[in-house]
């Protein structure tokens, strides 16, 4: 009989002789050592930021404290507060409506409300500015109806403002809240609402006293994810003329050539990010985002039917986020694509597309290999330290792309300069920038940023496989590596493919890190669009924008399938 010696996951092998390898268990396995170096690679940007910031002079720090933070700090905080409020309202109310009420179009809205997640924030900004500009259809209609001839004759909402940026980002980021709240309503809401109704509780009381407290952890989780995405943005902020902390890091580094000052400001921004993470964990402390499957939203659950003005209000509330968050950017870019379709696809666009696919493919493959090694290391060793290292390796998603790029650039540039100096002294020739000037820095930035996605997909897949399968393989004389390669990999392939796809798509859309680390003369789809937008030629990016939006729909479909499977 095969006995579980680990007490946790049943994978601590007793060895061929049956003796407990007590001494060996105190030593880290080769998997744990590899996991340590992967985690070190992920936290390298943060370490290098500290080194760079501490090495700067007091002049940079004084400039930041006196001139930069007072200007961009309040703007960033106000924008984050507005985004938090708007995403919470839009996400919670829409999830509440489609979960507990029946009205025309409810089934369509249940998945359509996730579509704005396919639109990158910078494309949403481009589409909104065009749609609501003086020459756009809305203001043109206002002037035609009112007989106005100048913008001074009437008031209109200014998209290029802090509040405008908050509205634009909220309309594409609220699905984070919607999905989290929808999940908790699915697994916990039905039986509780049915019980409350049977006791005669009114709709308002159920909402305020039951559903709002129940959904609080999910709302906080979704808002935190939305705020971290907002902090990461550069393209939309620059186009909308809003200077945030992240954009100031970018500006100090590339435009003012003050790397020490950029590192110091980046550390302050990191504090903001980790405060958000701590707040989210505090809000969810002791709470679960789901309950057992027996409590899920069953097929026989009767949603409350809405009629008259209530049904109309539900339709309007669910339709507006979809129409604005997805419809406006999509149709604006589709119009641009049709206008330039006759000119064909330019060679520059094809080159950018091929470059994007190449870099995203390599980054996704490397990420999934490293993620698989880490989660399998936890499974084999059962070590708390290894599990902690995997957690560290997943923090990159919380770090804005600009900070990741800055943290990666410093150590790689130091290595390039050191190696070049050795070659000059020893062999009399210069090697130049071997790594810093290549696409390797971009790939490393993608791996650091999106390791959490790869690790999450691999871990979810591995947790569904019983440890007894590993034990049976080991009892037949297979090593842990052979067990992984011949037994687990075929079963894990769907989960790994999902993780690969998610990392691939996010790498394809990534702008903040790409724009700062790309080799000279190299464009991806995101930087191709950014370059045209920075020269006020957004209309020439229609085809490229449609490609990115269409590819971005794939994760939405995957999420929808996951939600349906969980039903």
pTM, rounded to two decimals: 0.81
**DSSP-H helix ranges across 299-438:** 308-322, 328-339, 347-381, 384-393, 401-427
Does residue 317 register a pLDDT over 90?
Answer: yes
Give the rounded percent of residues in the chain with a pLDDT score beyond 70: 86
Q: Which of 550, 542, 551 is nearest to 505 (CA)?
A: 551
Averaged pLDDT, 31-50: 83
Rounded distance, CA 431 to CA 429, Å? 7
pLDDT of residue 3: 41
Contact 266, 253 (CB under 8 A): no
Contact 514, 465 (CB under 8 A): no
Rounded distance, CA 546 to CA 539, Å? 12
Question: Average pLDDT of the chain?
Answer: 81
Does residue 418 register a pLDDT over 90?
Answer: no
pLDDT tens string 228-268: 888 888 888 989 988 888 888 888 877 777 777 888 888 88
pLDDT tens string 530-543: 888 888 888 888 89
pLDDT of residue 7: 41
Averaged pLDDT, 215-227: 86
Largest CA distance in the chain: 92
List C-alpha distances in Å: 222 to 164, 168, 215, 272, 280: 21, 17, 11, 17, 9
Strands 101-102 and 304-305: parallel
Contact 393, 39 (CB under 8 A): yes
Q: Which residue has the higher pLDDT, 409 or 342?
A: 409
Rounded distance, CA 564 to CA 547, Å? 27
Listed in order, strand segments (DSSP E) in 250-329 are 304-305
pLDDT of residue 42: 82
Does residue 288 register a pLDDT over 80?
Answer: no
Does residue 274 register a pLDDT over 90?
Answer: no
Q: Which of 503, 509, 349, 363 is nearest to 439 (CA)?
A: 363
Walk me through the domains of the chain, giving residue ranges and CATH numbers. Answer: 73-243 (1.10.3720.10)
Highest-confidence segment of 163-177, 180-194, 441-455, 541-555: 163-177
pLDDT tens string 81-130: 999 999 999 999 999 999 888 899 988 998 899 999 889 999 999 999 98
Does residue 64 register a pLDDT over 80?
Answer: yes
pLDDT of residue 9: 44
Contact 71, 422 (CB under 8 A): no
């Amino acid at each position: 009989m095969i006995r579980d010696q680990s007490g946790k996951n049943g994978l601590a092998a007793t060895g061929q002789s049956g003796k407990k390898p007590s001494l060996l268990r105190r030593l880290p396995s080769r998997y744990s050592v590899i996991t340590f170096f992967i985690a070190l690679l992920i936290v390298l940007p943060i370490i290098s930021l500290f080194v760079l910031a501490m090495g700067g002079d007091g002049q940079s720090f004084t400039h930041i404290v006196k001139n930069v933070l007072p200007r961009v700090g309040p703007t960033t905080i106000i924008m984050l507060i507005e985004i938090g409020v708007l995403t919470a309202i839009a996400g919670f109310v829409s999830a509440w409506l489609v979960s507990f009420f029946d009205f025309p179009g409810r089934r369509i809205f249940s998945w359509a409300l996730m579509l704005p997640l396919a639109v990158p924030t910078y494309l949403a900004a481009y589409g909104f500015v065009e749609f609501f500009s003086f020459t756009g259809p809305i203001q043109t209609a206002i002037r035609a109806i009112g007989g106005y001839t100048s913008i001074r004759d009437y008031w209109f909402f200014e998209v290029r403002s802090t509040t405008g940026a908050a509205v634009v980002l909220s309309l594409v980021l609220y699905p984070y809240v919607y999905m989290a709240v929808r999940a908790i309503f699915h697994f916990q809401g039905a039986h509780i609402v049915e019980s409350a109704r049977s006791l005669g509780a009114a709709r308002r009381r159920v909402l305020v006293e039951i559903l709002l407290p129940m959904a609080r952890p999910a709302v906080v989780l979704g808002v935190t994810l939305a705020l971290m995405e907002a902090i990461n943005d550069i393209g939309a902020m620059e186009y909308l003329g809003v200077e945030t902390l992240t954009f100031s890091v970018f500006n100090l580094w590339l435009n003012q050539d003050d790397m020490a000052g950029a590192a110091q400001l980046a550390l302050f921004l990191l504090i903001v990010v980790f405060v958000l993470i701590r707040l989210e964990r505090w809000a969810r402390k002791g709470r679960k985002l789901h309950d057992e499957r027996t409590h899920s939203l069953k097929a026989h659950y009767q949603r409350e039917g809405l009629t008259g003005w209530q049904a109309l209000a539900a339709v309007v509330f669910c339709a507006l986020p979809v129409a604005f968050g997805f419809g406006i950017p999509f149709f604006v870019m589709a119009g641009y694509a049709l206008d330039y379709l006759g000119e064909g696809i330019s060679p520059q666009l094809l080159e950018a597309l091929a470059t994007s696919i190449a870099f995203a493919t390599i980054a996704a493959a490397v990420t999934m290999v490293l993620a698989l090694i880490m989660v399998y290391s936890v499974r084999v060793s059962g070590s708390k330290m290894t599990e902690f290292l995997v957690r560290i390796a997943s923090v990159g998603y919380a770090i804005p792309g600009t900070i990741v790029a800055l943290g990666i650039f410093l150590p790689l540039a130091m290595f390039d300069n050191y190696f070049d100096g050795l070659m000059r002294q020893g062999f009399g020739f210069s090697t130049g920038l071997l790594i810093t000037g290549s696409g390797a820095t971009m790939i490393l930035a993608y791996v650091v940023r999106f390791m959490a996605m790869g690790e999450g997909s691999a871990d979810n897949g591995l947790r569904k496989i019983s440890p007894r399968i590993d034990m049976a393989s080991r009892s037949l004389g297979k090593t842990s590596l052979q067990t992984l390669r011949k037994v687990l990999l075929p079963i894990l392939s769907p989960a790994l493919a999902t993780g690969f796809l998610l990392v691939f798509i996010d790498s394809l859309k990534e702008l903040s890190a790409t724009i700062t680390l790309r080799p000279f003369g190299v464009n991806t789809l995101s930087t191709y669009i950014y370059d045209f937008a920075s020269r006020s030629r957004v209309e020439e990016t229609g085809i490229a924008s449609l490609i990115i939006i269409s590819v971005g729909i794939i994760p939405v479909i995957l999420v929808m399938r996951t939600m349906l499977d969980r039903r």
